Structure 1
Amino acid sequence: MNYTNQATGALALSIHDVRAAHPNTSIPDGAPFGDFVPYAPATPPAHDPLTQWLVEVTPVDVAGTLTQQWVVVDMTEAEVAAARQARVPHSVTRRQARQALLLAGLLDQVEPAIAAIADPTQRGLASIEWADSQAFERSRPLLIQLASALGLDSAALDNLFIQAAQL
């Protein structure tokens, strides 16, 4: 059970928060005390966590019981982009990368893409990186170059990393 401080409007306070505010007072669980009033939990409404925030607002009286309330707020475009970027792992293991490429039907295209690199030094570096890396970093220029050769734009590469991290 959470508490609200009706004087400050603070929400989601625990009984420990209430007791910490009044250290020399015995306060039983679930009991109101001064400006601190307990409220019943409510199931949050359905929302899309990729594009919406779930925000707790002031509890209201529902049939005689102070009850938690929620609102769903749409994220701004910048917040959606930031949330999406936060989901993209910085790196995935070799196994995860290879499995994700296999599931995407791209694994067999990696070595031909490396072989198609015109500069022999860059081709050699790419071959070593592909063969010997224990992890693949999303920001590596060579990885981005290979992704482009496989027909993946930045968003598709992000999705591949997200999927790989789940394997």
Structure 2
Amino acid sequence: MRSLRRREQPPQALTMHLDKHERVLSWADVDDDTVVAATSRGIWWPDAEGYRLIAWQYVDKATWRDGWLRVIEADVVDDELLVDRPAVSVALATPRDLPPTVRKRVEANIVGRELLEFGGGAVRFVARRRPGRDGVTWWAHLEPGTRDTDALRSAVRARLAILRAG
């Protein structure tokens, strides 16, 4: 016999921000009476002004440890480089299935990787899906300790041109 109970829904304070075709995949309660939600477009993150969307293609890393969800978001510079922002973290009071949903989405978003050494440093090239678009987008991410120089940028542009054409 089927249960007649309704599925629990995220709060309206969050759902009012969603596009009409965006769907909530999972959500978790945060200690301060807000939520974090994974949707078809990205992670809706609580901040001082309510909620902001971190689109899946910009999530560089997400970890779940000791009750805390930590996300590192990247900005795109010159349509070439992904530059990490400082990590944001929240304690999840009721995680539900948000941590594995975030992990699955982040992993599914990255469809290609390549690590190349460049003059004393390294660059990680990453192909990512962009929700709502066909194909993938290639960007470069400088590995820690790699200096951003004109010569490096020239090499990155050349490699991105090859990867994007292929």
Q: Which has the higher strand share?
A: 2
Same fold (TM over 0.5): no
Under a length normalisation based on structure 2, what TM-score does the superposition of the two structures give? 0.26
Q: Which has the higher helix share?
A: 1
Under a length normalisation based on structure 1, what TM-score does the superposition of the two structures give? 0.26
Find the structure with the greater CA-based Rg.
1
